[in-house]
Structure 1
């Protein structure tokens, strides 16, 4: 288990005075973090949680979560992630369904009766972790749940997917997957690993919630490279811009929704002058928006493609690729990373030719796939003759309207082109005559001129085939988003139900 565990071990070579995590403008030193890491490790060891033990963590963007990560992964334990952005009842349900041996959570979460009682009734040993304090809250004096582990391929992280389209599912990420993914990222970016003194060099930025694979991966990369980083409690334009302006990174991450917010805020170019590129992923990145960002800031937008099941990204753009190919390949999510193979197949599993759209399959050390090495995704995609990958939609999102197939992202992208529209979500609503019909929900640019449903439908008709035009377009103040800044469709459907009830 070299790789990530070795990288984490390098932190102990840093002086206690070295700045490690900046949050809300204040630095936590390695010494402060180390004290909590060692305290958590002491508590876990004391209750019998050695290598392979499953430890639940309510994983918020805060210093205590980082210390928990180091204490758990540094000793070969397994971290079971729990999302603090969910209502307490859902966090409690995820806790009971995953059944870790121990759970670590902020005192504020323990104050929620549903969470505390769920942990107690399930017999899970629980601790509150705040500042440098680790305090037992429930459970007996010793661990009684046996760890269930694959000795040949042990799990490092059990990560819940975002659950934006349905109930969250638990995805096990093995040590082999994480180490392979880290190696692929370093090959892609040219990172050489922690050869400099620990916790020196350029400061990294962690933009996403670390309970999402994008945020967790940014933290793991910073930790294994022994690099100081800014941990944003949540994304805000001001917080992101201030961090870039202060620390002057060369590359920073911007999810698509965040990129649109930066453009809408008209952030001065001089605030971003240190940047040589921005990376973007987690959701569909409109090539038009990418070009708008490129034109305004003279920065390449390096799109990446990945998923929780891949332990992160498996394909993407580099700056040299962008310089050579972007104008001819705009709309692509880039080429596969070193060691990654991609192909598309039809519904019978037959491999398709170049240019043919089908289900995307991925083969790489980081996928944790079956015997033949190929993992089938839910994404529809095609590969061109130069090896560039294009995501054409999702197989499970297609709307069949009277026999015609409507891809929600095609409709959303058309509506996003309207100057007053910030973002859009399209979904299929059951229809007695046609089977399904598309419905759109749009969030407008702050301060934009008001636009009616009829105006948006007229705009859509000029860009879409007739059967693709939504039967209804709702305008809302703000689209609900999850930890990855993707739209939370379950909450969106509740919102639409209320809007349509108000119309009656």
Structure 2
């Protein structure tokens, strides 16, 4: 046992890896500089068959930086990116930072009022988007009628001019764009000599790089402030934990997750730049297309979320494709059901590894060592430089001993400096000694492995007992015909609250009734965890990233209750 009980995970570290290793930080654009210096003619991006080398990407980023500065971007200026998974995002992201500005990420699936809130709250005056009918009209309507004053609009196909009609329509039709003094084209943004003003970055730890808004399941979304040091520290952590698996200049990464999400931004884009990898950008997830790309392009790395791996497991072509090029598949963004992890690893011949992190930790938090035997229900041990402790759920100070459930708290160079213009929320989220209160309920074992049980806000109070939906979901996933499941708490006259399961069955499976499910779960759950109801549905609601979403289900049940009592 390590002498420092608070760092009990040290004994679980691989022999060649140090938890206290140095984590280099600096300006985010140095990730591209380093790739360019070592691999200038390696392909950096493959978008629908069209490739850009690192030399070409750097030239476009420099031209974008110059173009942004001509539009007034510099230190303290916030630029919004309202973009899907296309080269525009990579070029604009790095261009804004090189120009001295700050990136604000916007989800293409946000409601218009959410977009308006983020524009006002983040002080976004300039927005980059595409000519898609699903994107441009929303921003055109807000431009000039809010704080937003200028649009830069690209064409979906300008980086793949020979795209097939099917490829060109992957995200729906394009629409006519009105170019005027408020709206200019992405091509005109790059129409310069790339001679931008290079602002020195004196303190990466204090210089804001990205405003990343949280999901906002309750209340208005908050902007987590991520500095240049937060982002490059997270890349250094990823480099350390994956160093034995991945080799600079040799990896091919399949990027399907949308880049406006922190997990995709870090793992697919920025860490890929650090590794000088070739990134295959897919505008959306399609199981058959993903399987074909892995086989055709000999993909080595595929980061995803649990629903993607569930979808691949359910697809009949998975067993017929050659997936032997895969060296690493990583699941994040949501808890990974153990059943899914084991089945996918067996089928793909590549270990599906799970980690835990969140927007406020710049996506890194824990990892599963490559040579370690995964522990059922655990998301791994703390990444280098991060400390994790379990605090009492009542908010009292101190750390709980191994095995006791409490709130997961984390500190490290990757942890946000706070919430934009929300000193109250920052104070609520941070402990006196600098740990972030994550809102996740979990426990740590004697060897420092972390087990996330649930979110504090998702916890169900049944007859005075704490019931965690994830525990019930894990049990239901063991049923052979269940493909996906979400469990929420509903009002119960006797128990106060009780669990209800929403279930999607595998294609062609015969449905079961509630009594049959209860019988299946009886040996797997405690009496206090037993379901009060279930619903079988053709599909379950998802977030923009593809994670299962409980918010819509909770809203439905709340409305049912209101109608019943009206």
Residues 122 and 437 of structure 1, relative CA distance in 2, 3 Å threshold: same
8 Å Cα contact 2:130-2:136 kept in structure 1:
no
CA distance in 2, matches of 1:349, 1:243: 50
SS in 1 for 2:144: helix
Match of 2:356 in 1: 305
Match of 1:465 in 2: 526
- Cα distance in 1 for partners of 2:256, 2:504 equals 22
For 1:91-490, what aligned pairs fall within 5 Å after superposition?
91-108=115-132, 114-131=138-155, 138=182, 153-163=206-216, 167-190=220-243, 200-217=249-266, 218-266=268-316, 267-268=318-319, 271-321=322-372, 325-326=373-374, 329-346=375-392, 347=394, 348-368=396-416, 372-490=433-551
What is the deviation of 1:220?
0.9
1:132-161 CA distances to partner (integer Å, 9 max, x unpaired)? 699666389xxxxxxxxx997121111122
SS of 1:447's equivalent in the other structure is: coil
User: How many equivalent pairs are there?
Assistant: 487
- Matched with 1:65 is 89
User: Residues 250-287 of structure 1: CA distance to partner in whole angstroms, max 9, x if unpaired?
Assistant: 33223211111111114126521112342112111122
Is it true that 1:42 corresponds to 2:54 in the alignment?
Answer: no
Residue 101 of structure 2 corresponds to which residue in structure 1? 77
Gaps of 5+ in 2: 1-24, 160-176, 185-202, 418-429
Q: How far did 1:361 drift? A: 1.2
SS of the equivalent of 2:239 reads helix
Q: Secondary structure at the match of 1:449?
A: coil
Distance verdict in 2 for CA 1:318–1:151, change over 3 Å: closer
The residue matched to 1:305 in structure 2 has which SS?
coil
* TM, length-normalised to structure 2: 0.78
Change (3 A) 1:361 1:152: closer
CA distance in 2 between counterparts of 1:285 and 1:363 reads 24
The CA distance in 2 between the partners of 1:465 and 1:223, in whole Å, is: 47
Aligned-partner SS, 1:332 = coil
Conserved? CA contact 1:251–1:277, under 8 Å:
yes
**Alpha-carbon distance change, 78 to 160 in structure 1, aligned in 2, over 3 angstroms:** same
**Separation in 1 of the partners of 2:86 and 2:554?**
31
Aligned 8 A contact 1:257 1:485 in 2: yes
- In the TM superposition, residue 39 of structure 1 has moved relative to its aligned partner by 4.3
**Alpha carbons 1:92, 1:115 under 8 Å: kept:** no
Determine the C-alpha separation between the residues in 1 that align with 2:355 and 2:387: 15
CA-CA distance at 1:168 after TM superposition: 3.1
* Contact 1:177–1:311 under 8 Å retained in 2: yes
Are the structure 2 counterparts of residues 116 and 446 from structure 1 closer, same or farther at C-alpha, using a change threshold of 3 Å?
same
Gapped regions of structure 1 (runs ≥ 5): 141-149
Q: 1:317 to 1:261 in 2, by over 3 A?
A: same
Shift of 1:357: 1.7
- Paired residues of 2:88 and 2:154 also in contact (CA < 8 A): yes
Which deviates the most, 88-97 or 418-427? 88-97
What's the Cα RMSD here? Answer: 3.3
1:222–1:295: structure 2 CA closer, same or farther, 3 Å change rule? closer
Counterpart-to-counterpart distance in 2, 1:331 and 1:236? 28
Q: Is the 8 A contact 1:164 1:482 kept in 2?
A: no
Deviation, structure 1 residue 63: 1.4
Q: Distance in 1 between matches of 2:62 and 2:180?
A: 16
